[in-house]
Structure 1
């Protein structure tokens, strides 16, 4: 056979063998030692709403074979075996509250962060490194699914109350002004317990500082919406008989002793004739009281006090010489992270400042930090906004961990209730959780990975077909995810939420507990308030 013909036959044989091997690999799936990849949806390479470039071809970047998982899980087991209970008095407590942060929200936020860091599903959030966790039941005294007010009463004071009431027990019905003024019906928060023990306290939120969750630390009211006297007047009530929440913050027994107050809600503390520093509407108060000025005048008699309303002013605060700080950064709630309001500091920045001021107290401190916009975004079915807020919430937690000693500071991370968001579909590993996830095997249309069971994202059907999300602007930061039941705003969900704990007596938070259990365990750990105390056990 001539050399040219021999060469041609050899080439054909080589091509045949290559094709056969490729076909076999396709039938058998990924072989040991082969990295799995997937093809994302068309157009996935883009800048997301926060300016992060998303990869065009996300990959599972490691070989996840038997050796990989055995090694990884053995390391996890060793970490678990090395856990040691910290049995000492908690000098400080930092209570992180992700409002409306369901477990689905936490999972989706981890996937979102993992996509950006390149860790994908292997991303580990700051609170996931805490050694102890528990599931928390959230129902209120009168509802299977709680609101934030009743929940705050439970997880801060240890007593379940009725829906929409704050800092009062079950004897106070909604809008019952007379009952709310009976001291025997008042519940006292863990923040108040710290004050009674001579320790410093602070609250940080991105909602109005008079909103339900922060109000749970200092207020006693029969109606969560009575944030100013104007709100009580609109309800046909008498603000002279029922103190509004803003008054209780500045003039109340508990509120007036809080050293650090940061969040939004200037409108609830200023009169209607007082212009807001950012323009637009003035205050909301009918009684002509300027509670911001009252706070400034009171605190300047006690020590070095600062009031700020802009991020730049907060960053300029000399925390080493500041004893009292009020920062009100918005007329209403502070803006969503996706809207990049330059006047608003981040939750991480506010948390850092608060700790710097409070930690000067050698007796210790209690700090309440709320990621409140997670819930507000979920109510609108805006899962993109909600997840950005959840990632921001985690950054604040990471900041607090870096500034504190777990031997003396107990840090909790939990939620007051869930929200009706679900993560669904069989999307490939490394996918963007904010993207289209899968296709229906009934109508053949795609659907988003994240959806809601109720809320304003309900679309209905057109000509017997559900809307095709691929034809909508689902990358808009305020895109409302699909919902199955139409609502003006979503109702909460009622399943358990998770709590993570780090520090002295964090081991008390294992198993499953009522939300009302939380402050009882905190009082024990910190030796404040009534009930069992760790310090008492040392005296026996």
Structure 2
């Protein structure tokens, strides 16, 4: 359990020691921070192409374009790698301290450091975590856990319930995936959350009708299906964001809400442009929901950024000079789902239900040959075909080290302009909440 003494700094007032005092600040009541995991500039540029209906004319800006203010550097302080992982980047964004890869809520010396979510709770605000991964995954966990390894999923889930700030639950609203980490043989955290006055929901209908101010919503054993694959029982990121805002705004002291578009990154790791565009669209809708909440308010800041970029996505490949998002739009499921159904049916006709563009016989033969292998092999074959026909390029299956965008709307928006370190974002949030 976190003690109140953990919040005392040497000046007896603040739990942080920013090197810079930011000018022109006003205290904010509500903070909404959205992180598109893995969402570098190529993804938001791709979204602009994706939203454009033809090959002609000036492209309309996306909602991100309207609120672009700056960029942030993503590197960690890892001694063995100069490219960050999500844990180190999340920790920088949540604490103001760059750290080593894999660390959650710890500085480079492995000391526990407070997060902006925890500080919001300390200041009497309500807090929320929303994502499309398991809710105890790296980026989300970096705002509410203090542990050396991001892989300790059970311990992270335990800490969400067990740790308190000034005797109160650390997190008031938790929405995403991860049932398997909360209902375990050694411990049923779901029952314990309910005993601590939380509502518990597992479907969109339950989310909409539940009236609990504190809420745990787990909609999948691990991660949620990608947006393009979701059925009607699983909420979108925007629907979870709206549900969280409806509850958190009831606190007269305000709130801190973190919303993560978790699987932009996972699609990038797979070099899966269908999944990537699906998840960026999901994140775009959540950002719109956050801005909608903040419109006509003078007490709220909305920030959207990324922890890093993933995959080295390129809007073109092989010197074609023509990216073709119409191919992506004609596909109704992710390559993983299509591959799974192909293996279930062993019938190439299944492709016609999911991919509505013509394939050459050679491509069909390659895909067919993988049905004698694993689902993963078929998925990879489909990804390669889709990347070819859409002319999407990739440079890596891992993270990339370039700067990523910052978008902001509302009170103190100007503070996030220009180029900064990822850790600066947390230091600004500490100050404007103080």
Q: Is TM (by shorter chain) over 0.5?
A: yes
State the alpha-carbon separation in 2 of the partners of residues 215 and 120 from structure 1.
43
Tell me how far apart the structure 1 counterparts of residues 379 and 29 of structure 2 sit (CA, whole Å): 41
Please list the CA deviations of residues 238-281 of structure 1 after superposition, one character each: whole Å capped at 9, or x if unmatched.
xxxxxx11111111235932111000001111124xxxxxxxxx
1:156 corresponding residue in structure 2: 94
Alignment of structure 1 residues 200-219 onto 2, 5 Å: 200-219=126-145
Matches within 5 A, 1:15-94: 88-94=26-32
Distance in 1 between residues matched to 2:270 and 2:394, nearest whole Å: 13
TM-score by length of 1: 0.62
1-structure distance, mates of 2:128, 2:108? 27
2:203 matched to which residue of 1? 310
1:297: Cα distance to partner? 0.2
User: Which secondary structure does the structure 2 equivalent of 1:292 belong to?
Assistant: helix
Give the SS at the match of 2:148. coil
CA shift for structure 1 position 333: 0.4
Are positions 1:508 and 2:407 aligned together? no
Task: From the superposition, tell whether residues 364 and 424 of structure 1 become closer, same or farther in structure 2 (CA, over 3 Å).
Answer: same
1:266 corresponds in structure 2 to 179
Aligned to 2:254: 364
Deviations 1:398-424 (A, max 9, x none): 111112245211000100001121112
The answer to whether the aligner puts 1:410 opposite 2:336 as a matched pair is: no
Which structure is richer in relative contact order (CA contacts within 8 A, separation 6 or more)? 2
Question: Is residue 2:53 matched to residue 1:127?
Answer: no
Segments of 5+ residues of structure 2 without an aligned counterpart are 1-22, 329-358, 368-377
Q: Contact conserved, 1:338 with 1:477, CA < 8 A, in 2?
A: no
Alignment of 1:92-131 (within 5 A): 92-115=30-53, 122-130=59-67
2:159 corresponding residue in structure 1: 248
* Shift of residue 344, structure 1, vs aligned partner: 1.2
The match for 1:392 among 282, 288, 292 is: 282
Partner of 1:293: 191
SS at match of 1:367: strand
In structure 2, C-alpha distance between the alignment counterparts of 1:215 and 1:115, rounded to whole Å:
38
Q: Is the 8 A contact 1:136 1:514 kept in 2?
A: yes
Conserved 8 A contact 2:271-2:394: no
Counterpart among 416, 427, 430 of residue 520 in structure 1:
427
Contact 2:120 2:126 in 1 (8 A): yes
Report the Cα offset of residue 205 of structure 1: 0.3
Aligned twin of 1:422? 314
Measured after TM superposition, the shift of residue 87 of structure 1 is 5.3
* C-alpha contact 2:117 2:256 (8 A) present in aligned 1: yes
CA-CA distance at 1:121 after TM superposition = 5.0
1:359, CA displacement in angstroms? 0.8
What is the SS of the residue equivalent to 2:52?
Answer: helix
Q: Equivalents in 1 of 2:151, 2:219: separation in Å?
A: 20
Aligned mate of 2:73, from 102, 121, 137: 137
Which of 1 and 2 has greater Rg?
A: 1
- Contact kept, 8 Å, 2:44 with 2:64, in 1: the verdict is no
| Aligned partners of 1:161 and 1:170 also within 8 Å | yes
CA distance in 2, matches of 1:376, 1:290: 28
Contact 2:71–2:418 under 8 Å retained in 1:
yes
Matched residue count: 356
Q: Deviations over 1:439-460 (max 9, x none)?
A: xxxxxxxxxxxxxxxxxxxxxx
Question: For structure 1, which runs of at least 5 residues remain unmatched after alignment?
Answer: 1-84, 173-184, 229-243, 273-287, 437-468, 528-540
Counterpart check, 1:480 vs 2:383: yes
Q: 1:484 offset after TM fit, Å?
A: 9.0
Give distance in 1, aligned partners of 2:56 and 2:128.
Answer: 35
Is the contact made by 2:37 and 2:306 (CA closer than 8 Å) also made in structure 1?
Answer: yes
Task: Give the counterpart of 2:220 among 330, 339, 342.
Answer: 330
Structure 1 counterpart of 2:406? 499
In 1, are the aligned partners of 2:313 and 2:394 still within 8 Å (CA)? no
Asked whether the equivalents of residues 113 and 391 of structure 1 are also in contact (C-alpha less than 8 Å), the reply is: no
Deviations 1:483-509 (A, max 9, x none): 99998xx21011000111111111111
Task: Measure how far apart 1:376 and its partner are.
Answer: 1.0
In the superposition, relative to structure 1, how do residues 119 and 269 fare at CA in structure 2: closer, same or farther (>3 Å)? farther
User: How many Å apart are 1:524 and its aligned residue?
Assistant: 1.9
Q: Is the 8 A contact 2:203 2:234 kept in 1?
A: yes
Residue aligning to 1:222: 148
Distance 1:485 1:134 in 2: 25
If each structure's helix is expressed as a fraction of its own residues, which one has the higher value?
2
Aligned residue number for residue 291 of structure 2: 401
Query: CA, structure 1 residues 330+169, in 2 after alignment: closer, same or farther (shift >3 Å)?
Result: same
Number of the residue aligned with 2:122: 196
1: distance between equivalents of 2:122 and 2:139?
Answer: 21
Render the CA deviation track for 1:66-119: whole Å, top value 9, x for unaligned. xxxxxxxxxxxxxxxxxxx98532111100000000100111112112228x99
Are residue 346 (structure 1) and residue 236 (structure 2) matched? yes
**Counterparts in 2 of 1:485 and 1:370: CA distance versus 1, 3 Å:** closer
Spell out, residue by residue over 1:357-396, the C-alpha distance to the aligned partner (whole angstroms, 9 max, x if none): 1111111110000000111111111111111110111011
Distance of 2:33 and 2:393 partners within structure 1: 34
Question: Alpha-carbon deviation of 1:348?
Answer: 0.7
8 A Cα contact 1:385 1:477, kept in partner: no
